[in-house]
Amino acid sequence: MLLEVKNLKTEFKLKRGTVRAVDDISFSVDEGEILAIVGESGSGKSVTSLSVMGLLQKPGRIAGGEIMFEGQNLAQMSQKELRAIRGNKISMIFQEPMTSLNPVWRIKDQIMESLMIHKKLDKKQALARAIELLDMVGIPSAADRANDYPHQMSGGMRQRVMIAMALSCEPQLLIADEPTTALDVTIQAQILDLLYHMREKFNMAVLLITHDLGVVSEAADRVIVMYCGKIVEEADVKTLFKNPLHPYTVGLLNSIPQIDDDSDDRLYMIKGMVPNPLNMPPGCSFSDRCDRSMERCTKEMPRLQEIDGHKVRCFLYEDTKEGELNAQ
C-alpha cells in the first residue's frame, strides 16, 4: 500500500463558524493504481488532495487523522520535510495550468528547477531532461517550445507541460486535480491517454480528482464518491457503474446524457441544493435531496459499511448481508 489516509478531518475556521470540508474519511491507494475521487463542487475532493500535499492555506488546517506515505505521517511533517517529498515522490497537476505556471519564466526553466533541486542535475543535464520530458508528453518541436513562455501555448499544451513537470522526478504518486477541465473533448482524451501511458511506464499511482464521470469510466480502477465532506460510496469502477448503491451516485449517473436515448424526457436532475456547510442538517446530509429518504435519515448519520467489497453510507443497506446487494 503506497498511501493510506486514516480518519482525515480538514476544517476551515471562519468568523461565522467552522466548515468541516473533509469529515473523517479513510482510503488507500496501491502502487500503480488509479483511484478517482468524484463529487460535485464543495464535496471536499480538492481539499482532500491539498491535505495530502500539505498545501492547505489558512484558515484551513488538518484537525485530525493520519496521511501515511511509505510509513511516514505527512500530516505531522514540517513544511521543510514536505518540500523534500513534494515534486519528488509525490507530484500534483493543478486544475488550471495558467495559474500554476510562472508567467515570466520560460517553460524549460520551470521544469529544470525541480530536476536541479530534487535530482541534483546540473543545468546542462536538467535542460536535456526537460526537453526529453516535453517530447515524451507529446509536445512537438520540444527543443524549440522549451523556450516559450506559458502564454505562448494553448490550454492543452500547458496541461502537457504541467504533466511533464509533475513527472520530472518520476514520482510514486501523482495527484491530478481536474486535469481535463476547460479542455475540449479531443484534448481531454489525449491527456487521459497520456496519464494512463505514464502510469504504465513508471508504475505510478494516480489520485484523480474530478466531477466528470465520463473521465472516471475511461481512466480509473477504483472510485470514491464524496458528498459534503464524507465518503458515501466506494467500489471498483465496473461495479460502481453497473450497480451503484447510494442514491446520490444513482442520481449522478442518471444525469449523464445517453447517446442511445431517443425519448423526449428531460435529463434527470437531482432535486434541491447542497446544504450550507456552516449549517449542516442533522442526520444524512443528502436526506433532503433523496427520493428514498426515511424519517431516520433526517436524524442519524449512517455509517460507511462494506458489503462484498462495495462500501456505501446509506440506511437502505444497513441490514444487507454479503452477497445480497442485488436483492435491494
What is the band of 323 on the pLDDT scale with cuts at 50, 70, 90? very low
Helix (H) or strand (E) holding 251: helix 247-254
Q: Rounded distance, CA 211 to CA 180, Å?
A: 10
**CATH 3.40.50.300 residue ranges in the chain?**
1-79+172-328
For the ranges 87-96, 218-227, 235-244, 298-307, which has the lowest average pLDDT? Answer: 87-96
Set of cell numbers at residue 139: 509536445
Among residues 297, 270, 303, 264, the alpha carbon closest in space to that of 281 is found at 297
| Separation between Cα atoms, residue 100 and residue 120, nearest integer Å | 23
The CATH number assigned to the domain with range 1-79+172-328 reads 3.40.50.300
Q: Report the candidate in 237, 240, 269 with the shortest Cα–Cα distance to residue 40.
A: 269
- 320 or 237, which is more confident: 237
> How much is the pLDDT for 264?
66
Q: What percent of the chain has pLDDT over 90?
A: 62
pLDDT digits (tens, 9 = 90+) for 263-303: 667 778 899 899 999 989 899 999 999 999 999 999 999 99
> How many beta carbons lie within 10 A of that of residue 257, not counting itself?
8
pLDDT at 172: 93
* pLDDT interval class at 170 (50, 70, 90): confident
What is the spatial distance between Cα 133 and Cα 138, in angstroms, rounded to a whole number?
A: 9
Torsion of CA 37, 39, 40, 44, to 10 degrees: -70
Give the residue carrying C-alpha cell 513527472: 167
Q: Cell 486544475 belongs to which residue?
A: 95
Q: Specify which residues 9 forms β-bridges with.
A: 23, 64
Number of H helices, E strands in the chain: 11, 12
pLDDT at 328 over 50: no
Residue whose C-alpha is closest to residue 235's, from 320, 311, 303: 311
Q: What pTM did the predictor assign?
A: 0.89
Q: Assess contact for 92 and 79: CB atoms under 8 A.
A: no
Percent of the chain surpassing pLDDT 70: 94
Tell me which of 252 and 179 has the higher pLDDT: 252
Cell of 196: 494512463
For residue 318, pLDDT over 90 is answered with no
| 132 has pLDDT over 90 | yes
pLDDT digits (tens, 9 = 90+) for 41-86: 889 999 999 999 999 999 999 999 999 998 899 999 998 999 889 9
Tracing cell 502537457 back to the chain, one arrives at 160
Q: How far apart are CA 194 and CA 182, in angstroms?
A: 17
pLDDT at 49: 94
pLDDT at 256 (0 to 100): 80
Neighbours of 99 (CB within 10 A): 9
Mean pLDDT, rounded, of the chain: 89
The distance of Cα 119 from the centroid of its chain, to the nearest Å, equals 27
Residue 33 confidence (pLDDT) above 50: yes
- pLDDT for position 302: 95
In this prediction, residues 121-125 reach a mean pLDDT of 95
Q: Cis peptide leading into 59, omega within 30 of 0?
A: yes
